[in-house]
Structure 1
Amino acid sequence: MAAPSSYHHGDLRRAVVSAALEVIRSDGVAAISLRDLARRAGVSHAAPAHHFKDKTGLLTAIATEGFELLAAALNAVPTGTAHRLREMGSRYVGFALGHPAHFEVMFRPHLLRGDDPDLATARERVARTLRSGIEDLPAAGRPDARRTGLAAWSLAHGFATLQLSGSLPVLDDDPVETFRTLVDGHPVADLG
């Protein structure tokens, strides 16, 4: 480990975010400490503050990165795809299971700087993509697009949250495929 007497680090921002994600995965958000993360990165205890200011800034950066990754996953579903909304839900679940530390932080607004412009932009990109999935539905199938969107989001988010907490019974080796199967029998699936 490098002596913590220097601020020099190849990519301190990335090193601190990566270390924070490891801590969140293993011990939860409450275990985050900038001083501990600096120690893990081999830099002075004040160095992370140059990038994040404080713990809230770090968690906001993690949430922003999470929303950017989620938007990329959702945007990978081409428009015009049959059952696009269902596939977006599956990608949402896959994202949550593949990035549990990001997911844990993203939807806890009390931990974040709500006025952060990068966070707002990343959130809006996800929201816009999800809205496009609703807009692709036949008009007759979505009398209230906002409620349809809320139902679809709740289904994917709830499933992912229950899966991550270990609260769901083991139904299949692949939780994303289990989600697809469950959605096929749900009224939201009839819309897409």
Structure 2
Amino acid sequence: MSDTLPPPDARRYHHGDLRNAVIDAALALLEEKGVEGVTLRQCAARAGVSHGAPGHHFGDLRGVLTAIAIIGFERLVVSMEQSMMRAAVEDRVSALGAGYARFALNNQAHFSLMFQLDRIRPDDPEFLEASGKAWQLFEREVIRRFGPRSDIKRVRDILWAATHGRASLMISGQMKRPENLEADAKLLFDTFVTTPPPSEGEFGA
């Protein structure tokens, strides 16, 4: 029987731990350096594995970034759900918006990556499932709060665009972060209780 031990990497990352180690490394790099700072070589170095190890698990950098985006959408759903749990029934949908904004502002690089479809695999089944759950949660609560009304799908789309757009503007520094995210989201969402969105073509073609 050979006394030769497997390489340290193989001992440390047995049973799938390599995947998690690479993801943790990539998340840390994303937070520190932005998406441009996340490379397979840097992920391997940060995780303490061979240069080729991340590629064996994820195929390429897009695979790593897709895994990160999936985690982002899962955490976004948790943030929205936790925010809603603390709200009164009539404020659930605006609390959801506050949870959306809070996740975005507290995880700016991660949030940005989640919507950079040119850097990930947007047709990945796990990505579609994770992003779909976030969208379905948003849609369900908007319909619960504002439906039935004939323009509910337009209300849904405009509220998502406003929620996402405000978060993006705050991240870029073009809009100041409000002192109270819940109150800010409530002001935005409650506008649609009595005010319909603009009709098709109202602002020109």
TMscore range, shorter length: 0.7 to 0.9
User: Which blocks of at least 5 consecutive residues in structure 1 are unaligned?
Assistant: none
Aligned position for 2:199: none
Q: Alignment partner for residue 62 of structure 1, among 60, 63, 68? A: 68
Contact in 2 for aligned 1:17/1:62 (Cα 8 Å): yes
Give the direction of change, closer, same or farther, for the CA distance of 1:69–1:9 in structure 2 (3 Å limit).
same
Q: Which moved more, 1:112-121 or 1:92-101?
A: 92-101
The separation in 2 between residues aligned to 1:75 and 1:19, in whole angstroms, is 27
Aligned position for 1:121: 129
The separation in 2 between residues aligned to 1:101 and 1:7, in whole angstroms, is 31
Root-mean-square deviation (Å): 2.3
The separation in 1 between residues aligned to 2:128 and 2:187, in whole angstroms, is 34
Q: Alignment partner for residue 9 of structure 1, among 12, 15, 24? A: 12
Count residues with an aligned counterpart: 182
Q: TM-score, normalised by structure 1?
A: 0.83
User: Which blocks of at least 5 consecutive residues in structure 2 are unaligned?
Assistant: 1-6, 194-205
- 1:22-56 CA distance string (max 9 Å, x none): 22222211221101110111110011112211100
The separation in 2 between residues aligned to 1:17 and 1:24, in whole angstroms, is 10
Give the direction of change, closer, same or farther, for the CA distance of 1:85–1:50 in structure 2 (3 Å limit).
same
Please list, as runs of the form range in 1=range in 2, the aligned pairs for 1:40-189 lying within 5 A after superposition: 40-76=46-82, 77-78=84-85, 81-139=89-147, 142-169=149-176, 171-172=178-179, 177=180, 179-186=181-188, 188-189=189-190
Q: Which moved more, 1:159-168 or 1:62-71?
A: 159-168
Residue 171 (structure 1) shift: 4.8
Percent of aligned positions that are identical: 34
> Any idea what SS the aligned residue of 1:132 has?
helix
Contact in 2 for aligned 1:21/1:101 (Cα 8 Å): no
Give the direction of change, closer, same or farther, for the CA distance of 1:25–1:151 in structure 2 (3 Å limit).
same
Aligned position for 2:201: none
Q: TM-score, normalised by structure 2?
A: 0.78
Contact in 2 for aligned 1:7/1:44 (Cα 8 Å): no
Residue 106 (structure 1) shift: 0.7
Give the direction of change, closer, same or farther, for the CA distance of 1:115–1:170 in structure 2 (3 Å limit).
closer
Runs of 4+ aligned residues of structure 1 deviating over 6 Å after TM superposition are: none
Which structure is richer in relative contact order (CA contacts within 8 A, separation 6 or more)? Answer: 1
- 1:74-132 CA distance string (max 9 Å, x none): 23425982122111000001111232232121111111112211111111111111111
Aligned position for 1:20: 26
For the pair shown, which has the larger CA radius of gyration, 1 or 2? 2
The separation in 1 between residues aligned to 2:8 and 2:186, in whole angstroms, is 57
Contact in 2 for aligned 1:5/1:44 (Cα 8 Å): no
Contact in 1 for aligned 2:58/2:64 (Cα 8 Å): yes
Contact in 1 for aligned 2:143/2:156 (Cα 8 Å): no
Residue 170 (structure 1) shift: 5.7
